[in-house]
Structure 1
């Protein structure tokens, strides 16, 4: 799988790469709007049978815009299973589960205290499930709670 290399809005470069590379391409983590996503699909040479889209819902104007992007992708023959949100945070993990996406990029030890998984999350064979706690996962992170509590004091 190929990731990165060119500028995010250089759709022609992406199309040339896709034309010459038979493996999977994963991209889109630096695109932030429905229009950016549409341009990638229209002009970037992305192939719905093998490539992966990594739009980050938190940076892409939230869940509403991400849902619009999902609708556009479906209209262009893309399966939601080809979407693996970038970000590594709890928001994307919950969206990936709710929308039955292909997964979620995660960095368990990075971006603390907000990054990673809830304290009671179980990682097994490189998979993590959602906890039973309501919310999007930040609520189950004791160190993040400590930061919020100190800010409120």
Structure 2
């Protein structure tokens, strides 16, 4: 499908997840092409167990191991895991993000921030968040929005973020990108139209028109 990095869920049991990760690594070229996401399921002890087991695979990232508002877990985990981590999809305001940056142990040279543009109180609040991050020495390239939709893609491109997640075939008709623009080597183009690109998604436009009528 043209993607260079894929992501899988973890958090049922370490033994089972290691088998699943190793199966995935038989398909993708290397650990750098695979990210894992615990969806906040793990307590600190379990998160550290996972960290120790995952480190050798050199994964693209280890995402949201513990409760997204438990910054102490995130900060402690950074002491036990040298590879990239990611979190932030459940933080919505600049103040939330500032607390993560201050107290969550996130490392601005290797970790990723995942605030979803569409959920973060709008574009103005997202701009405030980026300004705050710059003051703390973070590059906008460390931001990869959660939420695989055309709105986040346009914002990611316009604000020079590090990328955007994609969920092909999921959360339709809103999920995914413009019709007839292929993903090539992990990159996708933007439609040459005004707006956020919803107009290029035929199935979505059917739904929107039906509501308007």
TM-score normalized by the length of structure 2: 0.70
Q: 1:11 aligns with which of 65, 71, 88?
A: 71
Q: Point out the structure with max Rg over C-alpha.
A: 2
Any idea what the Cα deviations from partners look like across 1:126-153, whole Å, max 9, x if unmatched?
2111111221111111111111222233
Any idea what the Cα deviations from partners look like across 1:27-56, whole Å, max 9, x if unmatched?
101111111100000000011010000001
Q: Which residue of 2 aligns with 1:111?
A: 171
Q: For structure 2, list consecutive stretches of 5 or more residues without a partner in the other structure.
A: 1-60
Give the count of matched residue pairs: 153
Provide the rounded CA distance (Å) in 2 between the counterparts of 1:30 and 1:82. 17
Q: Which residue of 1 aligns with 2:126?
A: 66
Provide the rounded CA distance (Å) in 1 between the counterparts of 2:179 and 2:92. 30
Q: Which residue of 1 aligns with 2:13?
A: none
Provide the rounded CA distance (Å) in 1 between the counterparts of 2:111 and 2:194. 33
TM-score normalized by the length of structure 1: 0.96
Q: For structure 1, list consecutive stretches of 5 or more residues without a partner in the other structure.
A: none
Q: Which residue of 2 aligns with 1:50?
A: 110
Provide the rounded CA distance (Å) in 1 between the counterparts of 2:206 and 2:124. 30
SS in 1 for 2:118: coil
| CA-based RMSD | 0.9
Provide the rounded CA distance (Å) in 1 between the counterparts of 2:79 and 2:88. 17
Q: Give structure 1 regions of 4+ aligned residues with deviation exceeding 3 angstroms.
A: none
Q: Which residue of 1 aligns with 2:159?
A: 99
SS in 2 for 1:26: strand
